[in-house]
Structure 1
Amino acid sequence: MGENAIIRFDQVTKQYDQDEPVLKAVSFEIERGKFYTLLGPSGCGKTTILRLIAGFIEPSQGSIYLNDVKINKVPPNERQVNTVFQDYALFPHLNVYENVAFGLRIKKMKNDVISEKVSEALRLVNLEGYEKRQITEMSGGQRQRVAIARAIVNEPEVLLLDEPLSALDLKLRTEMQYVLRELQQRLGITFIFVTHDQEEALAMSDEIFVMNQGVIQQSGTPNDIYDEPINRFVADFVGESNIVPAVMIEDNLVEFNGRRFECVDQGLRPNENVEIVIRPEDLEITSLEQGKLRVKVDTQLFRGVHYEISCYDESGQEWLVHSTKRAEPGSMIGLQFEPEAIHVMRFGETEEEFDKRLESYEVSGHVT
């Protein structure tokens, strides 16, 4: 276990009856004091990981460690872990104060200690003065803050958050993202956050685990995940992407759209079939003469800060462009991009193989 790791999964599998495993020999470490996000579509296994950490279920195979102690059989109430649920799980017959104080009363703390801890927890989530308010009188965002206060008042080492913002409207979600991120940084508690919203994950996290079909596809910082996706699933799930079949001619040279282009990727086999990713914001609209690609505009949508433009090249390949420039449907335009904008993905590459290949061209001075 790493020096700063607080949680470790070692080849953990979870299977119900004879069904396909929902988690397949997953191994990872969670470092103390960071904000982690488990990101992926419904049914990928992310909530299962949370339930295993919390102790609500046990692994079918493998081992789970908290502070270097195996906790497979340790009951939930004996783990320094608290959970904030999607539906808040508040007690409607208790007011705000009693909801937050509930866990402390179970521990039979003195009333003056409970009062001090509850007041501090409510202050941290900006609910001072709401102690006597009934839960039924509060908005969704306020209820979520109460649920968070109830979780942090117990001073857990790890706070688990199971899609806690999914029931909120867009404005409240954004507000709560700031609240959670600021709270985590202030308290220094390890947060493990579950979501299927990639924008939420990118905005809030120190580290992201992208999951699909019971497997962690890729882990890394938001920049790592967005700029260096390991495979088509990650590239397509995290942000919008242009994913195009290509051939890696040699180091720093890739062929697609019938032409060869400079890139920064290395470590692939000569003439290997690959896929390339270019993010829509990395494509610049220019004249036909200056463009590396010649495309015909199909649709143009205004998204507030940019235009989202769909266009097609001569081969029928669709290209998505995000630009502050307009491009009228039916017109021909050129698309320009830098070598650093091209990210090459190898078919079937593991995360370990990808990391080694990435290191090879970071060491040589090429960092994308």
Structure 2
Amino acid sequence: MGENTIIRFEHVTKQYDDDSPVLQDVSFEIEKGKFYTLLGPSGCGKTTVLKLIAGFIEPTKGNIYFNGKVINNLPANKRQVNTVFQDYALFPHLNVFENIAFGLRIKKIKNDEITRKVKEALKFVNLEGYENREIKEMSGGQRQRVAIARAIVNEPEVILLDEPLSALDLKLRTEMQYELRELQRNLGITFIFVTHDQEEALAMSDEIFVLNGGKIEQSGTPTDIYDEPINRFVADFIGESNIVSGTMLEDYVVKFTGKTFDCVDAGFNKSEDVEVVIRPEDLEITLPEKGKLQVKVDSQLFRGVHYEISCYDSEGNEWLVHSTKKAIVGEEIGLFFEPEAIHVMRHGETEEEFDKRLEAYEEVNG
């Protein structure tokens, strides 16, 4: 465990009665002062991870460490963790000041100190002067800031956020993404954020854990996750992707759609069946004879900053293109892409298997 590690899961499983495990043999580390996102579809286990860290539930197997000490049985109120819930869980009968001060009053802190801490927290979330405002008079974004202020006023080492932006409209949601990220940087506190929104995760995180079926499919920086997905699930879940079947002929050479292309991937078996990913924004529309692929335009939608164009090649593969150039439905066009735009994946490979394969390849090839 590294010096900066604050939370560590060691082969953690969570199972209720005789049901299938909601979390299966999960191991990971969280470092101090970073913004982490647990990302995945409904039922993947991300909220279960949050509840285990918060102390609302205990693991069935494995250990959870906080600053190097096992906390499996440590009560929630004894942990240096605060949670911001999806519905904010604010008290409607208390004003802003008293909502934020609630935890401090339970700890029997002196009134002068409570006043100082609450005002400091309000300043952090840009709500100075709102102390006497009733909760019912606050907007959705303001309520969220009150909930965050209530969390930070207790000076936790970790703040857990359970889909706190899901109830906001798109414009406010985008604004709050920037505000949350800036707040985390200013505080220097570890944030662990739960969402099923891929764009939200990519925009806000230092690191992302992609969960599926109670397991972590892949972890890494937003750039790693987006540019180098481990398998079809991650490639399909994070952003939009064109995924086709192919054959890895040898290192740096892959075949798909009946053609052979140079690529930047290596470490596969010769003539191994693989899956090939090309992101829509990496496809450039050109004349048919200049394209590496020739396709027919099937449909086109204007998305504001680009056109979303759906095309089909002669083998029936669909290709999604994001381009500032307008196409004509029914016309044949060429698609050009660089070798770096091609990402090759092994069928069903896990992150652990991927790491081992690369290590073995580097040992042999230096």
- TM (norm. structure 1) is 0.97
Q: Does the 8 Å contact 1:296/1:331 carry over to 2?
A: yes
SS at match of 1:330: coil
Per-residue deviation, residues 204-255 of structure 1 (Å, max 9, x unmatched): 0000000000000000000000000000000000000000000000000000
Number of equivalences: 365
Structure 1 residue aligned with 2:255: 255
Structure 2 residue aligned with 1:32: 32
Counterpart check, 1:330 vs 2:330: yes
**Alignment CA distance shift 1:124-1:358 (3 Å):** farther
In structure 1, C-alpha distance between the alignment counterparts of 2:200 and 2:362, rounded to whole Å:
28
In structure 1, C-alpha distance between the alignment counterparts of 2:124 and 2:6, rounded to whole Å:
24
SS at match of 1:289: helix
In structure 2, C-alpha distance between the alignment counterparts of 1:362 and 1:241, rounded to whole Å:
28
Per-residue deviation, residues 285-332 of structure 1 (Å, max 9, x unmatched): 000110000000000000000000000000110000000001110010
Structure 1 residue aligned with 2:109: 109
Counterpart check, 1:149 vs 2:116: no
Structure 2 residue aligned with 1:19: 19
Per-residue deviation, residues 14-55 of structure 1 (Å, max 9, x unmatched): 011111100001000001110000000000000000000000
Counterpart check, 1:290 vs 2:297: no
2:288 maps to a residue whose letter is L
Q: Does the 8 Å contact 1:307/1:323 carry over to 2?
A: yes
Offset of 1:348 from its aligned partner?
2.6
**Alignment CA distance shift 1:216-1:229 (3 Å):** same
1:101 maps to a residue whose letter is A
SS at match of 1:88: coil
Offset of 1:182 from its aligned partner?
0.4
**Alignment CA distance shift 1:84-1:150 (3 Å):** same
Q: Does the 8 Å contact 1:64/1:70 carry over to 2?
A: yes
Structure 1 residue aligned with 2:2: 2
1:191 maps to a residue whose letter is F
**Alignment CA distance shift 1:209-1:310 (3 Å):** same
Q: Does the 8 Å contact 2:231/2:350 carry over to 1?
A: no
1:140 maps to a residue whose letter is G
In structure 2, C-alpha distance between the alignment counterparts of 1:229 and 1:358, rounded to whole Å:
14
User: Tell me, which stretches of 5 or more residues in structure 2 are unaligned?
Assistant: none
Offset of 1:3 from its aligned partner?
1.7
In structure 2, C-alpha distance between the alignment counterparts of 1:21 and 1:154, rounded to whole Å:
33
Counterpart check, 1:269 vs 2:265: no
> Matches of residues 295-306 of structure 1 in structure 2 within 5 Å?
295-306=295-306
Offset of 1:353 from its aligned partner?
2.9
Structure 1 residue aligned with 2:66: 66
In structure 1, C-alpha distance between the alignment counterparts of 2:123 and 2:291, rounded to whole Å:
56
Q: Does the 8 Å contact 1:226/1:235 carry over to 2?
A: yes
In structure 1, C-alpha distance between the alignment counterparts of 2:348 and 2:322, rounded to whole Å:
29
SS at match of 2:246: strand
2:132 maps to a residue whose letter is K
**Alignment CA distance shift 1:215-1:47 (3 Å):** same
> Matches of residues 1-368 of structure 1 in structure 2 within 5 Å?
1-357=1-357
RMSD: 1.5
**Alignment CA distance shift 1:300-1:362 (3 Å):** farther
User: Tell me, which stretches of 5 or more residues in structure 1 are unaligned?
Assistant: none
In structure 2, C-alpha distance between the alignment counterparts of 1:165 and 1:362, rounded to whole Å:
43
Moved over 2 A (4+): 355-364
1:15 maps to a residue whose letter is Q
Q: Does the 8 Å contact 2:14/2:60 carry over to 1?
A: yes
1:350 maps to a residue whose letter is T
1:131 maps to a residue whose letter is E
In structure 2, C-alpha distance between the alignment counterparts of 1:282 and 1:76, rounded to whole Å:
47
In structure 2, C-alpha distance between the alignment counterparts of 1:362 and 1:340, rounded to whole Å:
20
2:187 maps to a residue whose letter is L
In structure 2, C-alpha distance between the alignment counterparts of 1:336 and 1:362, rounded to whole Å:
31
Q: Does the 8 Å contact 2:274/2:346 carry over to 1?
A: yes
Q: Does the 8 Å contact 2:232/2:348 carry over to 1?
A: no
In structure 2, C-alpha distance between the alignment counterparts of 1:322 and 1:344, rounded to whole Å:
21
Q: Does the 8 Å contact 1:265/1:361 carry over to 2?
A: no
In structure 1, C-alpha distance between the alignment counterparts of 2:297 and 2:341, rounded to whole Å:
21
Per-residue deviation, residues 129-149 of structure 1 (Å, max 9, x unmatched): 100000011111110110000
**Alignment CA distance shift 1:83-1:116 (3 Å):** same
1:327 maps to a residue whose letter is A
**% identical aligned pairs:** 78
